[in-house]
């Protein structure tokens, strides 16, 4: 196993309170030391990280690799290549693959594919209910044993609160984190944009914020009832953030993440009928965006994820309401996170914490930090390097992003996973 | 989207929605329609303006009235007309829409007139059709019905001459109405003094004021002093989707009766895009009465559609 | 050939009137219908209709919708309504325009007339015939025949006073 020295980089490691220029030493696939000067270290590879940031590799709480089952949209190979170029060294895979991650067999299949793609750190998230149908519990213990890191309903709704309660109780009895995507289908009613001025002007079926906030409120109550560890996936509303803040104040074990693009785009940014702006949850109002940013800064929202959803051409080709929602977003994760720092919404260490330390803590894994003996997952990036989103730079199989053709600032120069350089610019 | 409708010279190439079009463009349509309107009184109601052009009328939603006026408009311009009524299945997806368009393009057509149940269909087709083709939106989902709005504006101009000092009230199911959205945009772009919408709360979209209207839940207040009353048709499905209790209650609260009509100006005109639900939106005596211009709207529909077809196809010449 | 400097409208009208009178007799037109083409032709026709004491009311036509240059030039901005009688079948027609140039206006006017019914005879009278014919048509009666310098166009303005206007233009567009 290679000995790697990353020299002279600006180390930002929130877990260990590091925010200064220094060296990082890697050996045998693990972190040897960070921010120290080792005299007796002969490196096989030296990376000069002057003027670059050196931080733990990013842990993405939600990235759809479309494998198994939807290889026309993407594969574990193509999407982990994109992840590597984005500085992401651990990916959590939501259970809505095909077949659904509700058996040991599928979980092991994913691990197998991950190994073949030379990207070992894919953490499958198991389904809360069998086939995500919302009626029978899945074999959560078996899933956990096979390697599932948490359980989730993906975007499938629960029609019966009793089943949700029982699922949360059962998960909790096996100490499994429940990741919940909050939505009441009777209220969202097949909408495709936020219920507001934009929807009204363009006559598009709309999703009221109540469909998210009511689901958040319900689930918080059930978390209190069941004692379950709860994580809200991809919230979008100010009023959801308020409820989560109250729950935390009250002492409940609740965390939340937000998709990076929700921190930048609102309904006012949607180009009318451009399906690249079709997402679920939809882009909300400026007030919601402001609140999401503040919540990230004050810790109400703990984590930023990419919510990566690559799509084939046909999925986005149609009248707006008929297209499939989702953005291919791994590769814009870093520059958009840095934009938050430029906008003074958060500090750079806060941003990196939201991508490393906090996901690790929520998942309960020894990762997301440059702690000695941890797996050597490191991201080195140049925060000033500009690049354009186009055919030449894009690695994901899905080109469905509203940022296509734009020039962004901030690019990964090296990604190291388990002590191996899996990407260099 | 305004760019999608206009060609590089700023001339109308597609007609998909009122939004993004300037007052000048809308006025040009009205003036051109004026030229065509005298034609229907002539013995020979045909001119060779669009001879040699093939116009495909592609309706994915059923409609006899709009479809036949488009057919008549195209025929009076000497174009060849092809009508296709395609039933929309519940799983109708973008691919089959695109394939339908491609197959027709292979037969060297010049224009699509499209009606579809999904908002944004007109734009999707215009963006994906071959470059020489013009697309006219005959109604897409709840988004827009711009040709109807233009014939309504033409009718208002006929009777009121100027939009500047007008108070216009639109009464009915605004939430689901593509006609209302287009009418509101046209009225505002043409400089109407005040546009009002009158409906129960369940039939008003959220943030309706952002459309540039004043909302009323009480018809008596909304009708005070208006110059133009536009009635919208109430669809039966609204009763079964828990939006309204029944037609009787709707008529009691929001029906246009002789009594209520008196609250408007004495020379106010009453409009309706049709077909009329007598006794639900409007009393029969008003629909057939002296203030009703409903039949005039119908005959104006042909001239206005002729104008829109001619204006959009004129941009397809070699020198432009 | 008269040059443009010597064009006097009263003289042109009188010459046109004389030629028409003689041709109406020679060709034995019966109860003729006079049609003026918008806009210059209408003003000329109004004069002649009076002078020739035509019994049938003056008819007007706008040939904008029958032009052959829709693909090149697009819609004409202001189209005036045509006022043609319902029955044109078998009529003797005197068609009047102000300037005969390429011949395309007359081609359009004839197409429009024929759409209304098969006329018996059509004679054409114009105030000014100029060079530059592109279609094998010509006026039967004219006020004068002239050659225009390159890059110039001649127009009648009116209705009162009627006047002749010479314009320069840079691109050779399909003119009347």
Mean pLDDT over C67-76 rounds to 78
Other Cβ atoms within 10 Å of B159 Cβ, number = 15
The reply to whether C86 touches chain B by the CB within 8 Å rule is yes
- Per DSSP, helices labelled H in B90-218 are 94-105, 121-128, 146-160, 178-189
Find, in chain B, the residue whose alpha carbon is nearest to that of C62. Answer: B35
Per-residue pLDDT at B1: 54
Nearest CA of chain C to the CA of B50: how many Å? 8
**Per the CB < 8 Å rule, is A314 touching B94?**
yes
**Per the CB < 8 Å rule, is B118 touching A322?**
yes
Which B positions 5-44 lie with beta carbon below 8 A of chain C?
11, 31-32, 35, 38-39, 42-44
Mean pLDDT over C165-170 rounds to 81
Whole-number mean pLDDT of chain A?
96
Q: Is B217 exposed, middle or buried (0-12, 13-18, 19+ CB in 10 A)?
A: middle
Other Cβ atoms within 10 Å of B234 Cβ, number = 24
- What is the number of helices (H) and of strands (E) in chain B? 13, 9
Supply angle C-alpha B169, B172, B177, rounded to 5: 100
C77-135 pLDDT per residue, tens: 677 878 888 788 999 999 999 999 999 999 999 999 998 889 999 999 999 999 999 99
Per-residue pLDDT at A196: 96
For the entire predicted model, the pTM comes to 0.89
Instruction: Count how many Cα atoms sit within 13 Å of the Cα of residue B251 in the half-sphere of its side chain.
Output: 13
pLDDT band at A367 (very low <50, low <70, confident <90, very high): very high
Per-residue pLDDT at C39: 86
d(CA C150, CA C164): 18
The reply to whether C89 touches chain B by the CB within 8 Å rule is no
Per-residue pLDDT at C70: 79
**Per the CB < 8 Å rule, is C73 touching B46?**
no
B159-184 pLDDT per residue, tens: 999 999 999 999 999 999 999 999 99
Distances (CA, A) of C40 to A65, A260, C77, C134: 74, 69, 17, 21
Asked if A35 and A22 touch (Cβ cutoff 8 Å), the reply is yes
Asked if B43 and C116 touch (Cβ cutoff 8 Å), the reply is yes
Share of chain A above pLDDT 70, in %: 100
Per-residue pLDDT at A1: 65
pLDDT band at C159 (very low <50, low <70, confident <90, very high): confident
Assess whether chains C and A touch, using the rule of 3 or more C-beta pairs within 8 angstroms.
Answer: no
d(CA B302, CA B307): 9
- Mutation target to probe the C interface, by most C beta carbons within 10 A, among B33, B43, B310 is B43
d(CA A10, CA B195): 60
Per-residue pLDDT at C2: 46
Q: Domains of chain A by range and CATH?
A: 56-363 (3.20.20.140)
Share of chain C above pLDDT 90, in %: 59
Asked if A415 and A53 touch (Cβ cutoff 8 Å), the reply is no
SS3 (DSSP) at A120: coil
Distances (CA, A) of B49 to B37, B74, B242: 15, 10, 49
pLDDT band at B319 (very low <50, low <70, confident <90, very high): very low
pLDDT band at B192 (very low <50, low <70, confident <90, very high): very high
- Rg over alpha carbons for chain A, rounded to the nearest Å, is 21
- What is the number of helices (H) and of strands (E) in chain C? 4, 7
d(CA A233, CA A153): 10
pLDDT band at A208 (very low <50, low <70, confident <90, very high): very high
Q: Which residues of A touch B210 (CB under 8 A)?
A: 197, 200-201
Q: Which residue has the higher pLDDT, C160 or A140?
A: A140
| DSSP line for B245-306 | S-HHHHHHHH-B-HHHHTTS-TT-EEE--S---BTTTB-HHHHTSTTB-HHHHHHHHHHHHH
**Per the CB < 8 Å rule, is B32 touching C84?**
no
Q: Which residues of B touch A273 (CB under 8 A)?
A: 1, 120, 123-124
Is B320's pLDDT higher than 50? no
**Per the CB < 8 Å rule, is C115 touching B38?**
no
SS3 (DSSP) at B318: coil
Q: Which of A362-366, B142-146, B280-284 shows the lowest per-residue confidence on average (mean pLDDT)?
A: B280-284
d(CA B127, CA A414): 40
Q: Which of A163-167, B1-5, B118-122 shows the lowest per-residue confidence on average (mean pLDDT)?
A: B1-5
SS3 (DSSP) at C154: strand
Is C73's pLDDT higher than 80? no
Mean pLDDT over B18-26 rounds to 94
A52-81 pLDDT per residue, tens: 999 999 999 999 999 899 999 999 999 999
The reply to whether B132 touches chain C by the CB within 8 Å rule is no
Whole-number mean pLDDT of chain B?
90
Per-residue pLDDT at A287: 97
pLDDT band at B86 (very low <50, low <70, confident <90, very high): confident
Is B42's pLDDT higher than 80? no
Give the contacts of B248 (CB within 8 A, at least 6 positions apart): none
Name the CATH architecture for the domain at C9-67+90-175: 3-Layer(aba) Sandwich (3.40)
C67 closest CA partner among B48, B311, B34, B76: B48
d(CA C131, CA C149): 10
d(CA A332, CA A276): 14
Q: Which of A127-141, A199-213, B30-44, B251-265 shows the lowest per-residue confidence on average (mean pLDDT)?
A: B30-44
Per-residue pLDDT at C4: 55
| DSSP line for C42-94 | HHHHHHHHHHTT-SSPPEEE--GGG-S-HHHH---S-PPPPB--S--TT-EEE
Which B positions 191-230 lie with beta carbon below 8 A of chain A?
205-208, 210-211
SS3 (DSSP) at A180: strand
User: What sign has the CA pseudo-torsion A70, A72, A75, A79?
Assistant: negative
Mean pLDDT over C146-162 rounds to 87
Supply angle C-alpha A178, A184, A190, rounded to 5: 125
Find, in chain C, the residue whose alpha carbon is nearest to that of B44. Answer: C116
Other Cβ atoms within 10 Å of A17 Cβ, number = 8
Nearest CA of chain C to the CA of B48: how many Å? 6
Residue extents of the structural domains in chain C: 9-67+90-175
Whole-number mean pLDDT of chain C?
88
Asked if B256 and B282 touch (Cβ cutoff 8 Å), the reply is yes
Do the strands B54-59 and B111-116 form a parallel or antiparallel pair, or are they unpaired? Answer: parallel
| ipTM greater than cut 0.85 | yes
> Could you give phi then psi for residue B54, rounded to 5 degrees?
-110, 125
From B14, B53, B67, B115, the catalytic residue: B115
Mean pLDDT over B25-36 rounds to 93
User: What sign has the CA pseudo-torsion C147, C148, C153, C155?
Assistant: negative
Q: Domains of chain B by range and CATH?
A: 23-144+299-319 (3.40.50.1370), 146-298 (3.40.50.1370)
B233-290 pLDDT per residue, tens: 987 776 677 788 888 889 999 999 999 999 999 999 999 998 898 888 999 999 999 9
- What is the number of helices (H) and of strands (E) in chain A? 12, 18
Mean pLDDT over B196-207 rounds to 94
Distances (CA, A) of C84 to A155, B38, C52, C116: 69, 12, 20, 9
d(CA A366, CA A368): 7
d(CA A424, CA B158): 70
Per-residue pLDDT at B176: 92
Per-residue pLDDT at C85: 86
Share of chain A above pLDDT 90, in %: 96
Q: Which helix (H) or strand (E) holds A104?
A: helix A104-116
Is A109's pLDDT higher than 70? yes
Nearest CA of chain A to the CA of B34: how many Å? 29
Q: Is A344 exposed, middle or buried (0-12, 13-18, 19+ CB in 10 A)?
A: exposed
Is B91's pLDDT higher than 50? no
């Amino acid at each position: 196993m290679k000995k790697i020295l990353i020299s002279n980089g600006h180390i930002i490691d929130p877990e260990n309170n590091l925010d200064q220029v220094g060296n990082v030493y890697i050996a045998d696939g693990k972190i040897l030391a960070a921010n120290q000067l080792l005299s007796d270290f002969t490196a096989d590879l030296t990376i000069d990280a002057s003027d670059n940031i050196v931080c733990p590799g990013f842990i993405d709480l939600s990235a759809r690799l479309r494998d198994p089952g939807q290889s026309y949209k993407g594969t574990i190979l193509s999407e982990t290549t994109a992840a590597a170029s984005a500085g992401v060294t651990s990916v959590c895979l939501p259970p809505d693959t095909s077949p659904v991650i509700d058996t040991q067999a599928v979980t092991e299949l994913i691990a197998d594919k991950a190994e073949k793609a030379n990207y070992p750190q894919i953490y499958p998230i198991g389904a809360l209910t069998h086939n995500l149908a919302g009626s029978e519990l899945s074999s959560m213990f078996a899933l956990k044993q096979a390697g599932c890191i948490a359980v989730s309903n993906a975007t499938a709704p629960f029609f019966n609160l009793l089943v949700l309660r029982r699922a949360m109780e059962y998960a909790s009895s096996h100490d499994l984190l429940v990741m919940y995507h909050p939505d009441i289908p009777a209220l969202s009613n097949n909408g495709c944009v936020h219920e507001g001025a934009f929807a009204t002007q363009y006559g598009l079926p709309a999703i009221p914020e109540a469909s998210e906030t009511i689901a958040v409120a319900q689930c918080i109550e059930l978390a209190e009832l069941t004692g379950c560890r709860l994580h809200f996936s991809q919230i979008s509303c100010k009023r959801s953030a308020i409820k989560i803040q109250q729950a935390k104040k009250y002492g409940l074990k609740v965390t939340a993440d937000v998709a990076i693009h929700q921190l930048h785009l609102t309904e006012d940014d949607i180009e009318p009928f451009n399906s690249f702006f079709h997402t679920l949850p939809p882009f909300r109002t400026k007030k919601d965006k402001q609140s999401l940013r503040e919540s990230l800064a004050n810790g109400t929202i703990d984590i930023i994820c990419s919510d990566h959803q690559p799509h084939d051409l046909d999925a986005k080709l149609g009248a707006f309401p008929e297209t499939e929602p989702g953005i291919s977003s791994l590769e814009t994760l870093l520059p958009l996170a840095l934009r938050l720092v430029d906008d003074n919404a958060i500090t750079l260490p806060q941003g990196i914490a939201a991508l490393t330390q906090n996901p690790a803590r929520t998942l309960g894994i020894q990762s997301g930090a440059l702690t000695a003996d941890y797996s050597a997952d490191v991201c080195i990036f140049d925060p000033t390097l500009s690049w354009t989103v186009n055919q030449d730079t894009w690695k994901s199989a899905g080109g469905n992003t509203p940022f296509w053709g734009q020039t962004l600032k901030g690019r990964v120069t090296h990604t190291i996973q388990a002590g191996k350089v899996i990407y260099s610019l | 989207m305004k760019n999608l409708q206009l060609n590089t010279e700023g001339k109308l190439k597609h007609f998909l929605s009122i939004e993004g079009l300037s007052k000048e463009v809308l006025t040009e349509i009205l003036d051109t329609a004026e030229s065509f309107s005298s034609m229907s009184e002539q013995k020979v109601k045909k001119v060779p303006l669009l001879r040699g052009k093939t116009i495909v009328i592609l309706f994915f939603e059923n409609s006899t009235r709009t479809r036949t006026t488009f057919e008549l408009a195209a025929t009076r311009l000497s174009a060849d007309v092809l009508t296709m009524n395609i039933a929309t299945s519940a799983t109708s997806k973008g691919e089959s829409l695109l394939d339908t368009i491609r197959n027709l393009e292979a037969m060297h057509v010049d224009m699509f007139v499209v009606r579809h149940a999904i908002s944004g269909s007109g734009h999707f087709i215009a963006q994906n059709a071959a470059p020489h083709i013009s697309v006219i939106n005959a109604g897409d989902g709840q988004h827009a019905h711009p040709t109807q709005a233009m014939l309504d504006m033409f009718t208002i101009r006929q009777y009121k001459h100027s939009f500047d000092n007008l108070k216009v009230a639109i009464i009915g199911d605004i939430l689901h109405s593509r006609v209302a959205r287009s009418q509101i945009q046209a009225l505002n772009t043409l400089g109407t003094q005040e546009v009002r919408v009158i409906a129960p709360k369940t039939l008003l979209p959220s943030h309706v004021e952002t459309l540039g209207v004043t909302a009323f839940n009480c018809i008596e207040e909304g009708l005070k002093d208006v110059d133009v009353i536009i009635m919208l048709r109430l669809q039966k499905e609204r009763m079964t989707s828990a939006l309204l209790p029944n037609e009787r209650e709707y008529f009691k609260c929001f029906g246009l009766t002789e009594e209520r009509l008196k609250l408007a100006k004495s020379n106010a005109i009453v409009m309706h895009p049709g077909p009329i639900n007598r006794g639900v939106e409007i009393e029969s005596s008003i629909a057939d009465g002296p203030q009703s211009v409903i039949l005039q709207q119908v005959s104006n529909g042909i001239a206005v559609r002729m104008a829109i077809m001619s204006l959009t196809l004129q941009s397809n010449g070699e020198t432009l | 050939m008269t040059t443009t400097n010597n064009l006097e409208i009263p003289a042109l009208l009188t010459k046109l009137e004389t030629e028409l009178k003689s041709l109406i007799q020679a060709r034995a037109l019966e109860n003729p219908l006079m049609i003026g083409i918008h806009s210059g032709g209408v003003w000329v026709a109004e004069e002649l209709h009076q002078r020739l004491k035509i019994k049938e009311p003056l008819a007007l036509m706008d040939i904008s919708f029958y032009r052959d240059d829709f693909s090149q030039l697009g819609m004409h901005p202001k189209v005036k309504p045509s006022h043609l009688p319902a029955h044109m079948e078998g009529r003797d027609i005197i068609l009047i325009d102000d300037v005969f140039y390429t011949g395309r206006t007359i081609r359009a006017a004839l197409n429009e007339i024929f759409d209304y019914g098969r006329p018996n005879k059509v004679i054409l009278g114009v105030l000014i015939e100029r060079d530059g014919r592109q279609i094998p048509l010509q006026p039967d009666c004219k006020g004068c025949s002239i050659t225009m310098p390159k890059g110039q166009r001649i127009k009648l303005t009116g209705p009162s006073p009627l006047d002749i206007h010479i314009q320069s233009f840079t691109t050779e567009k399909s003119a009347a």
